[in-house]
A and B are shown apart, each in its own frame.
Chain A
Amino acid sequence: MDTTEEKSAASVKIVDAITAIVIFLIGSLVMWDSIRLGAKWGSDGPEAGYFPFYIGLILCLASVVNFIAALRVRSGESFVSVSSMKMILSVMIPTVIYVGLIGGVGPVPALGIYVASAIFITVFMKWLGKYAWPITVAVSVGVPVVFFMLFEIWFKVPLPKGPLEAALGLA
C-alpha cells in the first residue's frame, strides 16, 4: 500500500540486523548470568545456570545466523515509512503517558485507571479522530463508567483509583 515515493524511516535490512544484535546481547546476558550462578554439574545435580546457559548459547548462535541473513538481503525494502512512523508515535506517546497517569511516575500524578482512561480516549478521539465534543465526551466518560460498574461492582476486581474516586467516596 505504500508507494515508492513515500519516504522510508528505516529499511527492513537495518531493523532486522539491529534486532539480531539485540537478541545476541540478550543471549550473552543470559549466558553471563548463568555462569555467575554456576552452569556446571554441582554436588547435588545440575546448578541453577545449567539449563539457561544453553538457552543463551542457542539464542546467540541463532542470532548470528539471523544477522548474516539480514545483511545478505539486497533489496532496500522499507520497514516503516516516515508517515507510518508518525502515526505509530502519535499512538505510542499518548499510550505511554496514559500508563504513566494510571499509577503516577515521577512528575506525572496518579489519577487512577478510570480518569486516565477518560483523558486518553478524549485525546485520541479529538486529536486523531477530530470528533465533535458531544460524541467525544459521551464515549470517553461512558466507557470508564461502564468499566467501573463491571469491575468494581459486578466482578469486585479493584483497579487503581485516584483522587476523583476518593473525593466521590468510591475508593
Chain B
Amino acid sequence: MEEINSLMQGFSVALTPYNVGLMLVGVILGVLIGVLPGLGGANGVAILLPLTFSMNPTSAIIMLSCIYWGALFGGAITSILFNIPGEPWSVATTFDGYPMAQNGRAGEALTAAFTSSFIGALVAVLMITFTAPLVARFALKFGPPEYFSVYLLTFCSFVGMSKGSPFKTIAAMMLGFALAAVGLDTVTGQLRLTFGYTPMLKGFDFLIAVIGLFGIGEILLTIEEGLAFKGAEAKIKMRVVIDTWKQLPKYWKTSLRSSAIGCWMGITPGGATPASFMGYGVAKSMSPNGANFGKGEMEGVVAPETAAHAAGTAALLPMLTLGIPGSPTAAVLLGGLLIWGLQPGPLLFQEQKEFVWGLIASMYLGNIAGLIVVLTTVPFFAAILRIPFSIVAPVILVICAIGAYTVHGSMFDVWLMVGFGVVGYVFKKLDYPLAPLVLALVLGDRAEDAFRQSMLMSQGDMSIFFANGLVGGITALAMLMLFWAPLKGVIAKLRGR
C-alpha cells in the first residue's frame, strides 16, 4: 500500500504546529467568507492568494484549501438560519434547512448539515487518496492530443450539464477563451487583441475576473434584494449534536448516493452547485420520506450538503493530476500552484511528493478542524450576519479592491475588477453561467497550446483527435456531453414510443 505510506508522510508534513495553526486560521477565514455575502470560496481564495506568495507552497496550499473547506461549511449556516444561501451550492440546503430552523430545530439542522458535509468530504478525500496516484500515472502517457481532448471533455461537460440555455453556456465559455487570448502570444510573439493599448499586453488575469464577477457582482445582487437579515436563534448544545448524530446513520443510503453524485460531479466539472441540487432531487425521488421534503426533513439537509461537499473536494482530483480544475475555486488554487512555481499535472506526484501528500493529508485534517470549528462557533458567525449590510458592503468592496490590486500591484486591475463586477451582475441575472467563463479564462492558453501542438503533429489534420483508442474515446465522450441535451430528448422520445 504505497498510498498509505505516502499519506502517512503527508500527515507528518501537515501536522507541524505551524501548519495546524494555518489550518485553523484558514477554516475560520473560510467560514467567515462563506457567511458573508459577496465573498465566496473562489474570490475569497483569490483575494488571499497574494498574501501567500512568500510562504512555502505546502503551507500556503494548506491554508488556502482550508479556506475553501471553511467556505463550504459556512454556506450552510446562512441557508439554515436566515434562508439566505451564503454560497450557490447551499441553495438546496435552504429547502429543508430553513423550515427546520423555523420549527425550532436549527441546532439539529446545523449539526446534520455540518456532519453530512464532513462525510461527503471524507468520501471524496478517500477517493482522491486512492485514485489520484493512478490517474497521475496514467496521465503521464498523455500527449498534446490527449490533453486537448480532456480539455474538450471538460468544456463540453459544462454545455451538457448546463441547467439553462446551452448556447448561453457556450457564449460565456467562448468569452473566457477570447479574454484568455488577449496579450502576447507566446508561440509567435505577436500581440493579440490589444489594439495598441499597453495595459492589455499582459492579458487578463483570471484572479481579477473572479474577484469582480463573484465579489462585486454578488454585492450588487444582494443590494438589489434589499437584504434585511432576520434569522433564527443559533445555539448548538452538545446534547443536540449527540442526538442528531444518533439519527444520522439511518440516512446512510442517502449519504452514499449523494457522495457518489458529488464525487462524479466534482471530477467532471459540474461543480458543487449542480451536485447539491442533484443530490437533493435524487434523495427526494428515492427516499420513503420524499413527500415530506421541503417541510423540514433532515434527510433533505443531508442529501445536498453531502453532495456539495463531496463535489467541492473531488474537484481537486483533476486539478492535481491533470492540471484541469473542476470548479472556479479549484481554478484559483491551480493559479496559486503556478505562482508558487509548481507545474500541476501528473509530474507533480513524482517531483513534489511532499507537497501533494501534505495537501491530501491536510484535506483530512482540515475537514476535521472545520467540523469542530463550525460546531463550536455558530453563534459567533450568526452574530456577524446581524451586522447591517450598509456596514458590511463597503468593507467587502474595500477588501475586493485591495485583493485586485495586490495580484499585480496595478490600478488598471482594480478598474477591470469593477468592470467584471457589472458583467457578473448582468450575466447572473440573465442566466449566463460564470464558472465556464472563469475556467476558460484559466485554461484558454493551455488548451490552445495543446491544440496547436496536436495540429503541428498531424500537419493540420483533425483526425488526430481520433487517432487511437484513448484520445478517440475521450473525444467521443466529449461529443456525447456536448450533444447531451438533444440526445436526451431523442432517447426520451424513443422510450415513449
Question: Chain A residues in contact with chain B, CB under 8 A?
Answer: 1, 12, 15-16, 19-20, 23, 26-27, 29-30, 33-34, 37, 41, 45-52, 55-56, 58-59, 62-63, 65-66, 69, 79-80, 84, 87-88, 91-92, 95-96, 98-99, 102-103, 113, 117, 120-121, 124-125, 128-129, 131, 139, 143-144, 147, 151, 155-160
Are A52 and B223 neighbours in the complex by a CB distance under 8 Å? no
- List B354-411 residues whose CB lies under 8 Å from chain A: 388, 390-391, 393-395, 397-398, 401-402, 405-406, 409, 411
Q: Name A's interface SS.
A: helix
Q: Specify which chain B residues have a CB less than 8 angstroms from the CB of A87 in the assembled complex.
A: 223-224, 226
Are B393 and A30 neighbours in the complex by a CB distance under 8 Å? no
Interface-side segment among B57-65, B174-182, B278-286, B336-344: B174-182
Q: Name B's interface SS.
A: helix
Interface-side segment among B15-23, B165-173, B467-475, B484-492: B165-173
Instruction: Determine the distance from Cα of A51 to Cα of B455 in the docked complex, in whole angstroms.
Output: 11
Are B188 and A47 neighbours in the complex by a CB distance under 8 Å? yes
Q: Specify which chain A residues have a CB less than 8 angstroms from the CB of B177 in the assembled complex.
A: 52, 55
Instruction: Determine the distance from Cα of A91 to Cα of B40 in the docked complex, in whole angstroms.
Output: 20
Are B418 and A62 neighbours in the complex by a CB distance under 8 Å? no
Query: Which single residue of chain A is at the shortest CB-CB distance from B168?
Result: A66
User: If A1-B225, A87-B224 touch, does A58 touch B394 (CB 8 Å cutoff)?
Assistant: no
Nearest Cβ on chain A to B27's Cβ, whole angstroms = 19
B430 at the interface (CB under 8 A from A): yes
Are A129 and B178 neighbours in the complex by a CB distance under 8 Å? no
Are B411 and A102 neighbours in the complex by a CB distance under 8 Å? yes
User: If A88-B220, A99-B415, A157-B50 touch, does A62 touch B167 (CB 8 Å cutoff)?
Assistant: yes
Instruction: Determine the distance from Cα of A28 to Cα of B197 in the docked complex, in whole angstroms.
Output: 19
Instruction: Determine the distance from Cα of A19 to Cα of B172 in the docked complex, in whole angstroms.
Output: 11
Are A160 and B452 neighbours in the complex by a CB distance under 8 Å? no
B7 at the interface (CB under 8 A from A): no
Beyond A66-B165, A87-B223, 10 additional contacts (C-beta under 8 Å) are: A19-B426, A46-B455, A50-B452, A55-B174, A59-B175, A62-B171, A96-B418, A113-B398, A125-B390, A139-B395
- Could you name 30 residue pairs across A and B whose Cβ atoms are closer than 8 Å? A15-B429, A15-B430, A16-B430, A19-B426, A19-B427, A30-B178, A34-B192, A37-B192, A46-B455, A48-B185, A48-B188, A51-B181, A52-B192, A58-B170, A59-B171, A59-B175, A65-B167, A66-B165, A88-B223, A91-B220, A91-B223, A95-B216, A98-B401, A99-B401, A102-B401, A102-B414, A113-B405, A117-B401, A125-B390, A157-B51
